[in-house]
Amino acid sequence: MASVTIYMILILSVTSVVFSLSCVGCDKAAPCPLLPETKECFKARAPCACCDTCASGLGAECGALKIRCHPDYVCVNKDGVEKVMIPWFMMGFKGTCMPTGTGKIV
């Protein structure tokens, strides 16, 4: 009986984590803003966002749940590790958009 209780607690805790990572649906009737058609504006979308926006530029904050850096830049954390794309499960990775080669690639 104790193993069943532990199993149920484990299932419930995993389920709550999965549901907490779910995104809220988008309102299809809400129009998205037009983006400038310039090379500075690389279309990107933040996790769970409904509309595209311009990718983050030099010096902007970056991380797993943020808008990606412009392709001219990489996300460099305080330890100097640089990443082009940060997967959602690396939620602790936070950095600044910097030129490629600023940090160490891992």
Question: For residue 106, is it within any domain?
Answer: yes
Number of structural domains (the chain) is: 1
Which contacts of 13-17 are long-range, i.e. CB under 8 A and separated by 24 or more positions? Answer: none
β 73-77/94-99 pair status: antiparallel
Query: What does the alpha-carbon distance between residue 72 and residue 87 come to, in Å, rounded to a whole number?
Result: 19
In a domain, 16, yes or no: no
For 4-32, what is the mean pLDDT?
A: 63
Res 79: pLDDT: 93
What is the domain extent for residue 101? 44-106
Residue 59 domain-assigned (yes or no): yes
Report yes or no on 94 lying in a domain.
yes
Q: What is the mean pLDDT of residues 46-55?
A: 91
For position 10, what pLDDT does the model report? 47
CATH number at residue 101: 4.10.40
